[in-house]
Amino acid sequence: MGKEKRQGAYFKITPNPSGRMNPGDVACCPLVSNVGTWDEVKEKHHDWELSECPECGAGIWLSTIAVALIREGGRYACTKCALQGAAGGTAEDLKRIRKEHGHG
């Protein structure tokens, strides 16, 4: 797991309409505590997968798009960690977390 923090106090937060991640990008994954439980989100986001932030261990939601970007080499973290400049987890972290939870 990448625990290093990015240097500098400023970074740009923008949506990525290209569907590709650039080097250094970290996908911000919604926190369960902000969005809700499966019963609260399944109607609107039926493709989301419950996981955990590789930085802090908090419950997060991963969309199929986020998983695809992670598999292509992108990094991910919960919104809080990403906004604090965390380096984020990799596809290997996602595999490990899935295995720990019996999903892989």
Query: What is the rounded distance in angstroms from the CA atom of residue 50 to the CA atom of residue 38?
Result: 8
Q: What is the pTM of this model?
A: 0.73
* The pair of three-digit structure tokens given for residue 19, joined into one six-digit string: 């569907």
Domain ranges for the chain = 30-100
Query: What is the rounded distance in angstroms from the CA atom of residue 40 to the CA atom of residue 30?
Result: 13
What is the tens place of the pLDDT at every residue in 46-90?
899 999 999 999 999 999 888 888 888 888 999 999 888 888 888
What is the tens place of the pLDDT at every residue in 25-47?
788 899 999 998 888 888 899 89
